Amino acid sequence: MARAFVEALRKEAASPDPSWCLDEAELDALALGRQEASPMPRLAADVVAAAVMLGRAFAPAGPPAADDGFPVLLVRVSSPDWVEPMRCVVGPCLLGLGWRVRDGEGGRGAWNDRSRREVVVFARDGASREHRPDRGNETVGAAVVAGVPLIGVASDPARTLPRDFLRAVDREVLVAPLDAEVLSLVIEAVTGEVPPLAALGDCVAVRAAADLRLGIRPGRGASEALERLGRSRQRERKRTANAPRLEDTLGLGAARDWGLGLVADLRSWQEGIIPFAACESAVLVSGPPGTGKTRFAAALARSANLPLHPGSLAQWQGSRDGHLGHTLGAMRQFFEEARRSPCVVLIDELDSFGDRNTFSEHHRDYSSQVVNALLEHLDGAVGREGVVVVGTTNHPSRIDPAILRSGRLERHFRIELPGLDALTGMLVQYLGTDADDLDLAPVVPLLRGMTGADVEALVRRARGSARRAGRTLTVDDILAGSSDGTPALGDGLRMRVAVHEAGHAVALLASGASGPVTLSVAPTGGLTEHALVDAYGALTEGDFERSLVMILSGRAAEEVLLGDVSAGAVSDLAEATRCAAAMEASWGFSADFPLLSLAPAQDIDLARMPWLMRPVLERLRLAYERACDLMRTERLALERIAEALFSTAYLDDAATRALFSGKAASPRRRAGPGRGARRTHDT
């Protein structure tokens, strides 16, 4: 049937000047000043592909008869890019020669003369604002009354075709995406040569209609067509060429598992097994800077064998002068290009759009229209068949809730700082074959607290040092690069950092923490890591009070062992203040207002709620007193852990617990505490 449809196209192409027919011979003749013509019209490859795919879709039951009983037919294509080629073929392929195709956008017409044999076609790809369900309904009604055949072509019919057309549909045909068999038939029909299926390779993934039209040319041969399609695919892959596959990435947590599931679903969609609507095709990825949010999008695109299409509000505003019309135009052009063929769209720094509930009066109109435009492109009348959307942000709380509702970016994954195992794997991955000849054991403790971007920068610095020295990469280069130019801590400051982190560990273990507790000291500071086991929403007031003690125990350990405190606890104080403020104003633990939740925890501003300072300070004071009492009670364990951390720079969970219980002795090496220490440690 596919071959019969192609033959119908050739007959139709013999009619005067069909818009979809490529007659290169006549163009060449005009260029050379000769009056030669091609004996047989040449067909555009994208139109041939549409005919072949339409033939396969009708193969089981055959096309409807071209008579008065012709059904109202809906032809659903895989992406908006195939709407126009399919519009060219539905008339000649389904109804035959002699039928005049009338554009449904032309308005209501009169069909008194049935001898004209007309068919009305609505072909809507969503690129026009007129492609809406409320447009064209009068034409549909008039055609149905007159018995004129009606055909609709769309990738997202519910959002683009007339509402009355969908109500009148008698038969729906799903046109499967391009595959190797279809591509082989297209190359054969256009070039006259049969390509070997084994040679198609990645060319099958080139599914944009324009790519076929430009890559498969009449009279150029099958081998040249394959070469051109291959080059087109290579250009699409440039953005993800250096990105690892999602299967090989580390430290992405649940986002990686979700992405792998999506890759499997996309393969099923490309094979026609499931519709695109069955795929979870939009996600928000948040996390601290450098944790791999953008890398996740690139890895997802590479694993799905799709091009990456990055954009951001800053990019669209910077396209011209930032005027509202120019910004919206740049955004519209971005999404229209994305809808040409399946791809992964990356919207970076999604929080820059803001939340309409928090806009100031001065910028409200401008910013609201920008957010509304984004909402329309994410799931509005245009749709996004074949387009996967990945939004990234450091601040998910600043995003308009409408962007995150179901049907838009409904899934949200937070990528935290990677653990030691993931960091070690990243180091080996970035080192490549160099890792085989290096003993990385001294380097591993220094990776604590780093992000994936930090590890990549570390390897880049180390390679640069070795390259400038004219030698191969060594472990010393990596060790030197890990400090990023930061001098090693002096003994006094190093001991203070060790005492501070030991205080956190003592508080955790004394409270019965079941998750792993690991400590490290590096030139950039110290780090205590502990994974919470309980769900956040299940924590009680007592749990949060113990958390305050743990957060403040680093400062308390400095006071008990060293006699004074440093400014290095500033991040601990900030975290404890946020927690105590949330207990009073958000989580329902206030003694005076226990049933009030005044704001989300992350949005509480004590400067705007000065009456909160007294109860917050009282909570912090009581927690700090408990922390100091605990450090005095567990002083021996505190000293053991601090001295061991000072000497080794890293303590895993087993070593930390053994030192706390007294089953392991710490190295007897002590240095006097330094004074006026700067902030060097985090928890």
Q: What is the largest CA-CA distance in the chain?
A: 105
Dig out the tokens for 398 from the structure. 């600043």
What is the predicted pLDDT for the residue at 23? 43
Strand partners, 530: 517
Residue 610, helix vs strand vs coil: helix
Distance of CA 143 to the CA centre of its chain: 44
What is the predicted pLDDT for the residue at 548? 95
Residue 128, helix vs strand vs coil: coil
Q: Which of 559, 579, 561, 571 is nearest to 525 (CA)?
A: 571
Beta-carbon contacts of 389 under 8 Å, excluding residues fewer than 6 positions away, are 281, 282, 283, 345, 347, 378, 409
Instruction: Work out the burial of residue 158: count CB atoms within 10 Å of its CB; fewer than 13 is exposed, 13-18 middle, 19 or more buried.
Output: exposed
Q: Give the C-alpha distances (Å, rounded to integers) separating 396 from 285, 571, 603, 683.
A: 9, 21, 12, 22
CA distance 184 to 190: 10
CA distance 126 to 118: 25
On whether the pTM is more than 0.85, the answer is no
CA distance 49 to 341: 15
Positions in the chain short of pLDDT 70: 14-41, 66-68, 107-116, 127, 197-208, 230-242, 380-383, 483-487, 531-537, 665-683
Span 641-680, pLDDT tens digits = 999 999 888 888 899 999 999 877 666 544 433 333 333 3
Q: Which of 662, 666, 651, 365 is nearest to 516 (CA)?
A: 651
Phi, psi torsion values for 23, nearest 5 degrees: -110, 80
What is the predicted pLDDT for the residue at 27? 42
Residues 119, 99 contacting (CB under 8 angstroms): yes
What is the predicted pLDDT for the residue at 204? 59
Give percent helix, percent strand, percent coil of the chain, each to the nearest 5. 55, 10, 35
What is the predicted pLDDT for the residue at 34? 39
